[in-house]
Each structure stands twice: as C-alpha cells, then as structure tokens.
Amino acid sequence: MYDAVVIGGGPGGYVSAIRLAQLGKKVALVEKAHLGGTCTNVGCIPTKALLTTAHLFTELKEKTRKFGVKTGEAEYDLSQAMKHMRKSVTTSRKGVEFLLKKNGVYFLNGTAVIEDPNTILVEELNKRIQARNLVLAHGSVPVMFSPFDKVGGVWTSDDVFNMKELPKSIVIIGGGVIGVEFSTYFSSVGTKVYLIELLEHILPSEDEDVAAEVKKSLTKRGVEVNESTKVVSVELTDFGYRLTAQKKEEELVFEGEKILLAVGRKPNIPEDVKALGIKIERGVVTNEHMRTNADNIYAVGDIRGQIMLAHTAMQEGIVAAHNIAGEEKTIDHSAVPSIIFSNPEVAVVGAREKDLEGEDIIVAKFPVSANGRARTMEERNGFAKVIVNAETNVILGLAIVSPSATEMIMEGVVAVKNRLRLHQLLDSIHPHPTLTETILGALEGAKDMAIHI
C-alpha cells in the first residue's frame, strides 16, 4: 500500500511525487508516455529550444555588422535546430527520471486506470497498486474544433516538433501565448506568417499596450496580424490550404502551406476520472489544499483547467504533497507570472490595468529605449509598467516588454506576493547598467520623479 500514487509525470505530477518522498511518504508515479509531460515534450522546452535558435539567427542577421563582427551570410539549418531541440527534451526527461530515482519514487511506465479510489491498474504491466491517496496530474491536450477538424493535416502545437522542413507559409490560428511564440519563431526563420485572432487584439489576457508592442514587433518581422477575425471555412488546395475569414463586414482569404491551430489546450479528463464522482466543471475542481470533494483524491496542474502553466502546476503539486503528509498548506495564485518568449519577451504578474478601471491607481511606464544597457545591446522596443494602489502605495502589478523580461519578472513576483510598497523597491539599489533599471524607472515614474526620461 502506497501513501500516494501520482498519475501523470508532468511538472505537477513529478514535483508532487518527489516532495511526497522528501516528506517520508511511500509514493509511486505512473506515466503512460514520456516523463516531463506537455512542458518537457511538446511545450515549454522544445518551443524555447527552437526560439533560442531563431533568436540567435535574428541577432546574426541584424546586429553583427553594427557590433563589428564579420561573418559569412547566416543560414538556418532546420535539421540541426531540431537536433538541438530533441537533445534539450531528452536531457530534461532523463533529468526527471534521475530525480525520481534519487528520491526513491517508484516509477511505472504505463497507462493508469483508476478502478476505485484506492486501486490503480497499470494496463501495459498488468499490475495493480494500492494507494491511500491519489494525485491526479493527467495534464492537457490541444484544442481542435470545426472547421479545422474537417480537413486533414492541420497542425496543433504537438505536431510542430515533428516537422521535417520549414513551410514557406503558415496560417496560425490564435493570437495567445502559443500563437505569438510560434509566429515569432516562424517569421524569424523565413516563413511567411499570417496570424489570426478572434478577439480585439492579440494576447487578449494582457493589457492593450503590451499587445500593441508585440504586434509592432511581429509586423516588423513580416507577420500579417489580423485581429477581430473569425475563420469560417477551410479547404485543401494543391498548394496547401485556403481559409475564408470574416473581419467585421469584410471577407478575407488566406492561403498557406500549413495551418497551425494554436488556440490553447483543454484538461485531459479520461473516463475513469469521471467515474470517481468528483466534481468537474471546466476541469477537476479542488479547494485551496488541492483536494477534490473526495477526501483522498487531489488534482494539480492542467487537469484543473485553471492557470495552465508549468510553474503553477509545480507549486500546486507541492501544496498537495504537504497536505497528504498531514500539514496545512494552501495555494496562493495571486502572483503567478505569465511569460511569453516573443521578441522582445513579455512577462506580467499581478493586476492588469484593464481589470482595474475605476479604481484609484497609479500607472507608470519607462521605455526600454531610455535604458543604458539596452542601448549597448541595440535594443529599443518595449517598456516596464508598474501599477500601484494610489492610497496605500502597494504594488499591484508589473508588466515588462523587453529583452530578458522573463528573467526580470521575479522582482515583481516578490513585490506582488508580499504586498510590498513602492518605497521598498525604490530604496533597493538596482545594478547598473542592467535592464532591471527599466523597472526602477517605472517605479520612479509612479512617484512622478523619473530621472532618466
């Protein structure tokens, strides 16, 4: 009898299993495919590996002469880039496997079928294991819907990583994080990109100024961005695909060699999970302890259908583990950073300006173009924006559009999480010359005392 069996070896599952083992619990983890889940295999890691190659290619094309570096004409080798991507994925998988072994987690590679709240059958191994507690970490699957499911060969984000050659043109449906990142990648390596977003602007979860900065960058790289646009039909052609779309009163036609449906993912909830009788809405419902309405069943990560990010899943897995171990630990989703590996990068935490209409707030921005370190890098696009409660001076949110924004956002995470006040960051000396001084400039602007603009 195991203290807990974790189903799913993605970020939420493997982290939960390891933490349970660290807390002295006997734990097994069942994964039907590869360890690491969506993030490692068809999400964060392969996407960022390819984006790293594309970013370097862009730097070589755009900056070498300015920097006095003489090279031959840059060429992009997809086969070598894919080799780098596969190596990154394999190394990450092996790293997870090593960590499970190191911590004494019993790993079973097979499909888990829940027969009852205490019994799991691992199908391929024809093995039953007993558990006092279950952690559901089944992850998610790409969304596919009409009319895209009516024609063959439409890519989802899972399929891109199997491509053998770059398409000459691609129509990307969905201007959220996935769509923007793949638009960045494909446009950087020479593919003609058409990006279609149903809502008023790309990155609809973010403020309009953030989205506008990313749109400007994509447009500069040749991406045709179409917002408030709905695809109504798709047909196969000799060349690839023809899509008919409606933009207000205008009918638009797009032609592309490939289509990438990048409208997000949905929770993976198999029939055996549904048969448990636990509450399911968009995803599996839990309380702040990550416990479902069944006392011994917990759920973490994408299966919950809430904040579907790897770092959120990891923290939820840790919270579940501590509660299974008999501690009282709750999840805090108030300061979850959202990051986008566009060019420039985007990172946001806490409140968005659009969600605080009518409230007494101070909003201040500082442009990347006024930052000394950015000038040395030949970077001009982007800004840092801080949102502050006007009465209490508590920092409510931070948005960064900048090179290395995804690395810089932790200052905002700590501030929002701990309800720090403006002066607490202002009085913290920021190193010079660094990109983090764009944050300092925004903080100074919130006091109407910006020095460098």
Residues 6 or more apart whose Cβ sits within 8 Å of residue 12: 37, 137, 139, 300, 301, 302, 313, 314, 316, 317
Residue 452 falls in the annotated catalytic set: no
CA distances to 144, 178, 301, 337 from 262, rounded to whole Å, are: 9, 6, 20, 21
Note the residue count of the chain: 453
Q: Please name which of 118, 99, 94 lies closest in space to residue 19, comparing C-alpha atoms.
A: 99
Q: What are 411's two structure tokens? A: 């200052």
Residue 136 pairs in a beta bridge with 7, 299
- DSSP annotation of 369 reads G
Q: How far apart are CA 179 and CA 337, in angstroms?
A: 19
Q: How far apart are CA 215 and CA 344, in angstroms?
A: 11
| Catalytically annotated residue among 138, 311, 432, 452 | 432
Q: Please name which of 232, 227, 220, 186 lies closest in space to residue 203, comparing C-alpha atoms.
A: 227
Q: What are 39's two structure tokens? A: 């993030």
Residues 6 or more apart whose Cβ sits within 8 Å of residue 287: none
Q: Are 170 and 180 in contact (CB under 8 A)?
A: no
| DSSP characters over 240-287 | SEEEEEEETTEEEEEEESEEEE-S-EEE---HHHHTTT--BSSSB---
CA distances to 108, 266, 301, 331 from 318, rounded to whole Å, are: 21, 22, 11, 9
Q: Please name which of 396, 449, 407 lies closest in space to residue 426, comparing C-alpha atoms.
A: 449
Give me the half-sphere count of Cα atoms (radius 13 Å) on the Cβ side of residue 306: 20
Q: Is 322 helix (H, G, I), strand (E, B) or coil?
A: helix
Sign for the pseudo-dihedral over CA of 33, 39, 45, 50: positive
* Backbone φ, ψ for residue 447 (5° rounding): -95, 5
Sign for the pseudo-dihedral over CA of 31, 32, 38, 40: positive
Catalytic positions:
432
